[in-house]
């Protein structure tokens, strides 16, 4: 069995909400009296509730409640969860920025935290001086920084400006330099909080590569918090899913990512009841109607070319042929792509037809997309639904395979691409 | 996994308040040095006169004191030259006041760094005291230069350095310790209640008037407020400082020991509070 790098035992953290200041003095006195004079535990711990952001209640909450887990040496652990799930609190306690209320964390090895890049950068100092300062703040010895100085400068790519005060840097250069220092930390355990959301794409790739390298080749343990499922999926071997201050599950990355998306994003891969979706026009659904729509992929979280299937029911006996239109929209409501069926399909009253659409090439850029669907006979639109299903493309591979998930209707996304649709007529 | 493996460190809710963590601070000595360097280098960046400000500050202050306190208010300064008298007092006072005011914002002023990364928090106030010490060193050199030139060119100034000059390191230690003690105490209490922030600004100014900086202790004695001045631990320090350098004033070993003991006790108490606060201050700051 491999070695445990971090063991978290019954970790809890309790916060008082609202304004911390003069109003807390009576609580402070009461707490002091109970704890130090009467020797009782903190009287306010009992009042604390689970940390649900959207419900009202006691002023005291548990930001973390009885958190237990082990991290094996050399593992890259992703920590995911909604805002307020306790991820940052957990990292802060691990980074020793704040202390736990109860419980303990046992650490085996030198630990360094990267909750922000460029901590301790002084705007008046030059890049060179800041490399040393920032390195020391992160726990490096001066000799260590000196030895890696050239490597750091090289990684950052701001060699030319190294003797210029960092206040003259562009924000991108600043971040590059800051990350370069951080990337050359050599702790046994590295704690990273979403700092990858900086810099241009090329630099982000470099950073992810660096972290991968650190964990795979050098056997270091990494704890990584992010909302970006692509980086989580890329980097992490295991994942911890947190909700309301508690560990919901702890498993392999693919399982947890799927669970997270399902839990948080109103994931849907089928609409069985399109009939109940309100239509824009009263005349719709009278002569023919859209019944259901589903992703052909049976998993919410797919790594394939998105394929949709929808069913239509013919009501009116005068409808003898059917065409359909299909559109992909961006967040701002703009039509990005439309497709009209190449032929009219013969049909008759009471018949149910299923159509299959496959988005082949070209590749969609990572973003969120909305679907609109309509059916018509000759020039009369029989039924149409706008933006009722959305899907998000997270990533694409070289073969043009999409990697993403499907969602119910809401929120946003944008796109710039065209789609080729092949249709299949069944039944 | 039953067998207990070796843990490098354990994070727990509470640690002993008397833990000084000197070992940890030693491990971060490079950071300490870099902070000192940063303070010194960054302060005078983009200024024309640069470190010359270190010299201008005490000189200009003393000139103004000569004009105001000696000229307008006619406060006697025993037998010494007023300029030198004030320069002595100011040099020492600036050190104390720097230590106090700058360390007093340790937590609030560094919340953004402290909130993101851990290092022994004491490194920050210590670095402030060290950079103030560096500044004091330069200002002492200026003081000596002024003294020597006055000694030769203005015999009327009556400069009589004596053996008490060897107490100088002790005096610096007391002043630094007091400044640090008050500073980190205030910094610890301001994490939750900001009231003290407002006190620091004018409090140090007021404290100066309760310290024989602009008047000799003998004057306080004459006016019958000696007790008030004596309970101030800074009084005997400034008085001894001036006595050793100029031979002007008095030396009272009881008072000096009082100051020393006061400094040690207060500093230790402040460190205990500081240690207690540093753990969770991010939640209240």
The verdict on a CB contact (< 8 Å) between A99 and B11 is yes
Which positions 121-140 of A are in contact with B (Cβ < 8 Å)? 122, 124-125, 129, 132-133, 136-139
Q: Does A8 touch chain B (CB under 8 A)?
A: no
Helix (H, G, I), strand (E, B) or coil at A339: strand
**Which of B15, B27, B30, B122 is the best substitution to test chain A (most A C-beta atoms within 10 A)?**
B30
Q: Which of B101, B108, B100, B130 is nearest to B34 (CA)?
A: B130
CB contact under 8 A, B6 and A3: no
Quick one: pLDDT at residue A316? 87
Residue of B nearest to A102 (CA): B13
pLDDT at A21 over 70: no
What CA–CA distance (Å, rounded) separates A195 from A223? 12
Q: Give the pLDDT of residue A335.
A: 78
| Mutation choice for B interface testing from A99, A114, A126 by most B CBs within 10 A | A99
Q: Check CB contact under 8 Å for A100 and B12.
A: yes
The backbone torsions φ and ψ at residue A91, rounded to the nearest 5 degrees and listed phi first, read: -65, -40
Residues B42 and A133 sit within 8 Å (Cβ to Cβ): no
Q: Report the percent of chain A where pLDDT is more than 70.
A: 72
> Among B109, B260, B278, which Cα is nearest to B178's?
B260
Q: How many other CB atoms are there within 10 angstroms of residue A380's CB atom? A: 11
What pLDDT is attached to residue A24? 59
Chain B interface residues (partner A, CB cutoff 8 A): 1, 5-14, 28, 30-31, 33-35, 37-38, 41-42, 45-46, 112-119, 192-194, 279-284
B34/A98 CB distance under 8 A:
no
In sequence order, the 6+-apart residues with CB closer than 8 A to the CB of B38 are A122, A125, A129, A133
pTM: 0.74
Both structure tokens of A120? 């301790």
Q: Give A208 or A200, the one with higher predicted confidence.
A: A208
Q: Binning pLDDT at 50, 70 and 90, where does residue A198 land?
A: low
pLDDT at A422: 35
The H-assigned helical ranges of A121-162 are: 127-137, 142-156
DSSP string, A198-239: -S-HHHHHHHHHHHHHHHHTT--EEEEE-S-HHHHHHH-SEE
Q: What is the pLDDT along chain B (285 residues), one digit of tens a residue?
A: 444 567 777 887 766 666 667 888 888 899 999 999 988 888 887 788 878 888 898 999 999 999 998 888 888 887 788 888 899 999 999 999 999 999 998 888 888 888 888 888 899 999 999 999 999 999 999 999 998 888 888 877 778 888 888 999 999 999 999 999 999 999 988 887 778 888 888 889 899 988 888 888 888 888 877 788 888 999 999 999 999 988 888 888 888 999 999 999 999 999 988 888 887 777 776
What is the average per-residue pLDDT within A186-209? 74
* A142 to A131, A176, B96, B134, B138: CA distances (angstroms): 10, 21, 30, 21, 27
Please provide residue A343's backbone torsions phi and psi, each rounded to the nearest 5 degrees: -140, 165
Of A336, A326, A331, A335, the C-alpha closest to A364 is A336
Lowest mean per-residue pLDDT among A181-190, A287-296, A394-403, B18-27: A394-403
**What mean pLDDT is predicted for residues A175-189?**
84
Tokens of A161: 């400006």
Cross-chain Cβ contact B280/A142 below 8 Å: no
| pLDDT band, residue A412 (cuts 50/70/90) | very low
Kindly report the nearest CA distance between residue B61 and chain A, in angstroms: 28
3-state secondary structure of A74: coil
Between A294 and B19, residue with greater pLDDT: A294
Q: Which long-range contacts (CB under 8 A, 24 or more apart) does B277-280 make?
A: B277/B107, B277/B188, B277/B191, B278/B107, B278/B121, B278/B122, B279/A98, B279/A99, B279/B14, B279/B15, B280/A98, B280/A99
CATH 3.10.450.50 fits A4-110+187-264, yes or no: no
Q: Are A98 and B279 in contact (CB under 8 A)?
A: yes
Is the per-residue pLDDT at A22 higher than 60? no
Backbone Cα Rg of chain B: 21
Q: Has residue A408 got a pLDDT over 50?
A: no
Dihedral Cα B217, B219, B220, B224, nearest 10 deg:
140
8 A C-beta contact, residue A116 and residue A193: yes
Task: Please state the domain extents for chain A.
Answer: 4-110+187-264, 270-426
Q: Are A356 and A309 in contact (CB under 8 A)?
A: yes
Look at residue A392 and give its three-state secondary structure: strand
Nearest CA in chain B to A63: B283
Average pLDDT, chain A: 76
- Looking at residue B125, its pLDDT comes to 94
Residue A385: which pLDDT band, with cuts at 50, 70 and 90? confident
Which residues of chain B have a CB within 8 Å of the CB of A113? 116-118
Sheet holding A76-80, edge to edge: A111-114, A189-193, A221-225, A76-80, A238-243, A246-252
The pLDDT value recorded for residue B238 is 92
| Cα B275 to Cα B271: distance, rounded to the nearest angstrom | 6
Among B7, B280, B283, beta carbon nearest to A108:
B7
Residue B141 near residue B50, CB atoms below 8 Å: no
Looking at residue A131, its pLDDT comes to 92
Q: Which two tokens stand for residue A23?
A: 């109003």
A327 forms beta bridges with A338, A372
C-alpha–C-alpha distance, residues A50 and A60, integer Å: 9
Q: Measure the CA–CA gap between A324 and A314, rounded to whole angstroms.
A: 13
Residues recorded for chain B: 285
Cβ of B118 and A125 within 8 Å? Answer: no
Q: Which CATH number fits domain A270-426: 3.90.960.10, 2.60.40.10, 3.40.50.300, 3.40.50.880?
A: 2.60.40.10
CA–CA separation, A228 and A260 (whole Å): 12
Q: Which two tokens stand for residue B126?
A: 């210590």
Of A36-40, A147-151, B38-42, B96-100, minimum mean pLDDT range: A36-40
Q: Which of residues 354-393 of A touch B (CB under 8 A)?
A: none
Nearest CA in chain A to B191: A21
pLDDT reported for residue A416: 24
Question: Which residues 60-99 of A have a C-beta within 8 angstroms of B?
Answer: 70, 92-99
Mark residue A152 as left, alpha or beta (left: phi above 0; alpha: psi -120 to 50; beta: remaining): alpha
Task: Say what the pLDDT of residue A44 is.
Answer: 63
Strand order in the sheet with A4-16: A49-50, A60-72, A4-16, A102-107, B9-11
- Searching chain A, which residue's CA lies closest to the CA of residue B31? A136
CB-based contact A224:A77 (threshold 8 Å): yes
Identify the pLDDT of residue B109: 84
Other beta carbons less than 10 A from residue A107's beta carbon: 23
Question: How many Cβ atoms are within 10 Å of A29's Cβ, its own excluded?
Answer: 10
> Averaged over A244-258, what is the pLDDT?
84
What value does the CA radius of gyration of chain A take, rounded to a whole number of Å?
A: 27
Give me the half-sphere count of Cα atoms (radius 13 Å) on the Cβ side of residue A286: 7
Nearest to A137 among B33, B42, B113 (CB): B113
Chain B residues within 8 A of A110 when measuring between CB atoms: 8
CA distance B74 to chain A (A): 44
Q: What is the mean pLDDT of residues A121-148?
A: 90
Query: Among all residues of chain A, which has the CA nearest to that of B13?
Result: A100
**Best to test chain B binding among A68, A98, A112 (most B CBs inside 10 Å):** A98
Q: Which of A74-83, A146-155, A302-311, B250-259 has the lowest mean pLDDT?
A: A302-311
Which pLDDT score, from 0 to 100, does residue A270 have? 62
């Amino acid at each position: 069995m491999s070695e445990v790098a971090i063991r978290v035992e019954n970790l809890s953290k309790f916060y008082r909400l609202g304004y911390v200041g003069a109003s807390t003095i009576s609580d402070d006195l009461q707490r002091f009296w109970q704890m130090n004079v009467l020797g009782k535990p903190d009287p306010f711990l009992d009042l604390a509730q689970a940390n649900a952001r959207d419900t009202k209640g006691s002023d005291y909450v548990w930001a973390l409640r009885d958190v237990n887990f082990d991290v094996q040496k050399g593992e890259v652990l992703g920590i995911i969860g909604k805002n307020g799930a306790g991820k940052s609190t957990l990292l802060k306690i691990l980074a020793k920025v704040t202390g736990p209320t109860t419980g303990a964390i046992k650490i085996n090895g030198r630990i360094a935290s990267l909750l922000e890049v460029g901590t301790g950068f002084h705007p008046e100092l030059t890049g060179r001086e800041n490399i040393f300062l920032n390195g020391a703040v992160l726990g490096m010895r001066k000799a260590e920084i000196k030895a890696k100085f050239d490597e750091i400068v090289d990684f950052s790519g701001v060699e030319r400006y190294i003797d210029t005060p960092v206040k003259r840097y562009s924000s991108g250069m600043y971040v590059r330099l800051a990350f370069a220092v951080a990337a050359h930390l050599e702790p046994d355990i590295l704690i990273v909080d979403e700092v990858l959301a900086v810099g241009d794409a090329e630099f982000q790739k470099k950073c992810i590569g660096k972290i991968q390298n650190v964990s795979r080749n050098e056997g270091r343990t990494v704890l990584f918090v992010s909302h970006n499922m692509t980086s989580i999926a890329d980097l992490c071997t295991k994942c911890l899913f947190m909700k309301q201050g508690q560990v919901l599950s702890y498993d392999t990355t693919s399982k947890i990512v799927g669970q997270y998306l399902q839990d948080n994003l109103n994931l849907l891969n089928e609409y069985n009841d399109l009939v109940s979706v309100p239509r824009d026009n009263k005349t719709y659904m009278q002569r023919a109607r859209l019944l259901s729509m589903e992703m052909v992929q049976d998993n919410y979280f797919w790594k394939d070319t998105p394929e949709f299937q929808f069913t239509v029911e013919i009501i009116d006996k005068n409808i003898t042929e059917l065409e359909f239109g299909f559109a992909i929209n961006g967040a701002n409501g703009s039509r990005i792509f439309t497709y009209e069926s190449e032929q009219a399909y013969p049909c008759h009253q009471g018949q149910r037809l299923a159509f299959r659409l496959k988005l082949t090439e070209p590749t969609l850029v990572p973003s969120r997309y909305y679907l609109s669907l309509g059916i018509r006979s000759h020039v009369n639109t029989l039924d149409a639904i706008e933006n009722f299903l959305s899907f998000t493309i997270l990533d694409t591979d070289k073969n043009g395979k999409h990697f993403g998930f499907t969602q119910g209707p809401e929120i946003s996304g944008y796109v710039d691409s065209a789609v080729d649709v092949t249709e299949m007529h069944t039944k | 996994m039953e067998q207990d493996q070796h843990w490098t460190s354990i994070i727990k809710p509470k640690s002993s308040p008397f833990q000084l963590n000197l070992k940890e601070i030693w491990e971060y000595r490079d950071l300490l040095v870099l902070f000192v360097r940063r303070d010194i280098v960054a302060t005078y960046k983009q200024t024309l006169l640069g470190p010359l400000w270190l010299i201008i500050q005490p000189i200009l202050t003393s000139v103004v004191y000569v004009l105001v306190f000696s000229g307008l208010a006619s406060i006697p300064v025993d037998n010494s030259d007023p300029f030198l008298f004030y320069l002595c007092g100011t040099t020492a006072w600036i050190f104390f006041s720097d230590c106090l005011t700058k360390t007093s914002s340790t937590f609030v002023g560094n919340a953004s760094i402290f909130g993101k990364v851990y290092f022994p928090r004491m490194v920050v106030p210590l670095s402030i005291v060290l950079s103030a010490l560096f500044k004091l060193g330069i200002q002492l050199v200026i003081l000596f230069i002024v003294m020597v030139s006055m000694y030769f060119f203005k015999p009327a100034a009556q400069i009589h350095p004596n053996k008490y000059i060897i107490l100088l390191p002790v005096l610096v230690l007391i002043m630094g310790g007091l400044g640090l003690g008050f500073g980190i105490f205030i910094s610890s209490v301001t994490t939750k209640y900001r009231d003290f922030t407002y006190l620091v600004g004018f409090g140090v100014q007021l404290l100066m008037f309760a310290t024989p900086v602009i008047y000799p202790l003998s004057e306080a004695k004459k006016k019958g407020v000696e007790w008030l001045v004596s309970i101030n631990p800074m009084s005997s320090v400034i008085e001894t400082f001036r006595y050793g350098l100029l031979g002007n004033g008095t030396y009272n070993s009881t008072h000096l020991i009082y100051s020393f003991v006061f400094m040690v006790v207060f500093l230790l108490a402040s460190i205990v509070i500081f240690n207690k606060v540093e753990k969770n201050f991010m939640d209240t700051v």
